[in-house]
Amino acid sequence: MPEILFDVKDNVAVLTLNRPEKLNALNRSLAHELQDQLLACDENDSVRAVVLTGAGRAFCSGQDLQEFPPDKVPDIEKSIDENYNPTIRLLKTIRKPVLCAVNGVAAGAGANIALACDIVVAVSSAFFVQAFSKIGLIPDCGGTFFLPRLIGLQKASALMMLGDKISATEAERMGMIYACFEEESFVEKTFQIASTLANLPTVALILTRKALMEYSTNNLEEQLDLEKKFQQKAGLTKDFKEGITAFLQKRVPLFTGK
């Protein structure tokens, strides 16, 4: 069985982590496959939005701990350099919006890969756990970057040190994720959002992500300049032309992502 299932429908690519018996724990091959599939989505013109989800009852339980037997000296730097950091960089540079659909537990690197996506939704039975401190590690995959920005330093500090399990409902309430959906409507609502993303002006969405990435380090002047620069770029797209034309003609715009 492939470790990632790939499907494209109506311009939405769905990447499904597929090691359900290990709660989709990331071993080396799954991590590399994920990078390959994200790159393929980046280059595929028919993909206008990506959904990342998991098979079975989990989204992802983080690093496959069987790859780090306790009797061997671990080369964690190599694992992060090759398996994790490139994935996080890809999630922030891929030219398509990425929606993470957390279908079950998201632990360790699994939780932080979710937080690196543009929008995160979860089924109400899912939970998030910064599992790292329980095995003597620190949060990685950009978790120490994303989580405090989402929920504030105090909550992030506590969740990361204590390793509390946070339900999807609580995650939504504290702003860690965009929305939490009941089991019955999770797939449908996720696809509604993905389909909306796939029909929006893709270049503008990606420039929005890039501008938001700078929000907490730039001062207002710098951010205004960045917005100006990106707005100029967005203004040169066919989609901007279409947006204005459709508005003036009082019709729904048909964006192409160009």
Positions in the binding site for ligand LHQ (CB under 6 A)? 22-23, 25, 61-66, 68, 76, 79-80, 84, 105, 107-109, 129, 131-132, 135, 137, 140
Least Å from the CB of residue 128 to ligand LHQ: 10
The angle subtended at Cα 184 by Cα 178 and Cα 188, nearest 5°, is 60
Least Å from the CB of residue 255 to ligand LHQ: 37
CA distances from 186 to 120, 157, 169 (A): 12, 30, 13
**Residue (65 or 226) nearer to ligand LHQ, CB:** 65
**Residue (97 or 142) nearer to ligand LHQ, CB:** 142
Least Å from the CB of residue 127 to ligand LHQ: 8
Q: How many angstroms separate the CA atoms of 65 and 17, rounded?
A: 17
> Which pairs with CB-CB distance under 8 Å and at least 24 residues apart come from 168-174?
168/102, 168/122, 168/123, 168/124, 168/125, 168/126, 168/127, 168/128, 169/124, 171/122, 171/127, 171/128, 172/122
**Residue (157 or 192) nearer to ligand LHQ, CB:** 157
**Residue (22 or 89) nearer to ligand LHQ, CB:** 22
**Residue (66 or 249) nearer to ligand LHQ, CB:** 66
Least Å from the CB of residue 105 to ligand LHQ: 5
**Residue (89 or 209) nearer to ligand LHQ, CB:** 89
Least Å from the CB of residue 149 to ligand LHQ: 20
Helix axes 143-151, 153-162, angle to 10 degrees: 130
Least Å from the CB of residue 84 to ligand LHQ: 6
CB 97 within 8 A of CB 202: yes
Token look-up 């690519």 returns 13
User: Residue 181: enclosing H or E segment and its boundaries?
Assistant: strand 179-181
CB 141 within 8 A of CB 107: no
